Structure 1
Amino acid sequence: MPELMPAVVAAGKFAEVPQPTLVTLDGLVLRPWTSQDAPAVFEAFQDPAIRRWHVRTAESVAQVRDWIERWQTVWTTGNGQWAVTVAGEVAGRIGLRHTDLADGTTELAYWTMPAWRGRAIAPRAVIALTRWGFDEIGFDRIELTHSVQNPQSCRVAAKCDFPFEGTLRGAGRHSDGRHDMHLHARIRRDADPFEQ
């Protein structure tokens, strides 16, 4: 059955180009993951705060290398994952998930290494990836969801001017059961509050 509307983002948009490295003016670098990053990711998943919000655990560096291989292959679907680095050191992760190219929507997900918390790593990465998603890819809407029990992510959303849109009941699966999730989103026509 033919579609009434064209896709917002062309189906092959991500397959046509390699995953970019994004550099912010304040020294944050978002780059594709490499197998050499596996020890840092393994270390991150030993942190109780990171484990709390994920449905998986890292049992070995070799297992994490498998994750990184998958992260590298999902780029073509619009679900890219970036290492967030400062002076070459992994400070966190940010990625796109639940991407629907035809609809022009995606969702951000992120975490920050314990040693880098309190330095606005997540907000800076969110701002950089949001700008890229709107300006370079052409998404119409970028969402950010988090458990209602995760006030740190709510603060990230507020700092990045992602308006709160509501609560999705039981929408998030965690090790202790289903959580209600806050939904925040920006749309392309929103003014960029951080424009220089």
Structure 2
Amino acid sequence: MNASVTLHAAATPTAPALTLRPWCAQDVAALVQVYRDPDLRRWASAPIESADDGLRWVRAQERGWATGARFGFAVVEEPLDAAPPRLVGNVVLKGAGSGKPSAEVGYWTAAQARGRGVAPRALAALTDWAFDAFQAEGLEGLELLHQIDNLASCRVAEKSGFALDRILPSAPPAYPLDGHLHIRRLRR
């Protein structure tokens, strides 16, 4: 898969347009800043506390693109004024490939961008791209998992057309609580 893919989510009456593009080393400072948010750190699987941590994370995203195992996108807000674009989130497609009927999506939103529709718009752009890019290889559905107490992720899933499929049992220590599995099927 080409790592130069760029996706877009149009502006709304209350929020600027979004650009989704592969992560790069220039994102490290903004990534470290975003990860200072305790709510994000609560849900994140790997803490990012320094520029070195951030660079390792970005390099892992780049390797994911190179191997086709993981397609991570920085979500960047395009301000209406002359301000520079700013990092507001992340969306990722994991496990898509030849002969695989399902893949997993994930996301997070920076604290300053929550409540403005960033996650649903970015997830919609990723979902459309995933089905377009991988339908010919057999992709039929996308899975979205979150811990049962992450109510914001549940709302994003529902707004984005991912129906609750079932409750998953906890698997400590990585998943100390039960989880929700949401699924979105390819609409033909």
Q: CA deviation at 1:187?
A: 1.1
1:140 matched to 2:140? The reply is yes
In the alignment, which residue of structure 2 is the partner of 1:188?
186
1:178 matched to 2:176? The reply is yes
**Root-mean-square deviation (Å):** 1.7
| Percent identity between the two aligned chains | 35
- Matched residue SS, 1:83: strand
- Matched residue SS, 2:70: coil
- Matched residue SS, 1:179: coil
Matched positions, count? 173
Deviates more, 1:83-92 or 1:72-81: 72-81
Q: TM-score, normalised by structure 2?
A: 0.85
Q: CA deviation at 1:142?
A: 0.5
User: Unaligned stretches of 5+ in structure 2?
Assistant: 12-16, 79-84
1:128 matched to 2:125? The reply is yes
Q: CA deviation at 1:173?
A: 4.8
* CA distance in structure 2 between the aligned counterparts of 1:165 and 1:19, rounded to whole angstroms: 33
Q: Specify whether residues 39 and 179 from structure 1 end up closer, same or farther in structure 2 by C-alpha distance, changes over 3 A only.
A: same
In the alignment, which residue of structure 1 is the partner of 2:59?
69
In the alignment, which residue of structure 2 is the partner of 1:162?
162
Give 1:23's aligned amino acid: H
Q: Specify whether residues 122 and 173 from structure 1 end up closer, same or farther in structure 2 by C-alpha distance, changes over 3 A only.
A: farther
User: Unaligned stretches of 5+ in structure 1?
Assistant: 1-13, 191-196
Which digits, 9 at most, give the CA deviation of each residue in 1:93-132, with x for residues without a partner?
1111244542232111111111111111000011111011
In the alignment, which residue of structure 2 is the partner of 1:40?
30
**Off by >6 Å, runs of 4+ in structure 1:** none
In the alignment, which residue of structure 2 is the partner of 1:80?
71
Q: TM-score, normalised by structure 1?
A: 0.82
Q: Specify whether residues 106 and 173 from structure 1 end up closer, same or farther in structure 2 by C-alpha distance, changes over 3 A only.
A: farther
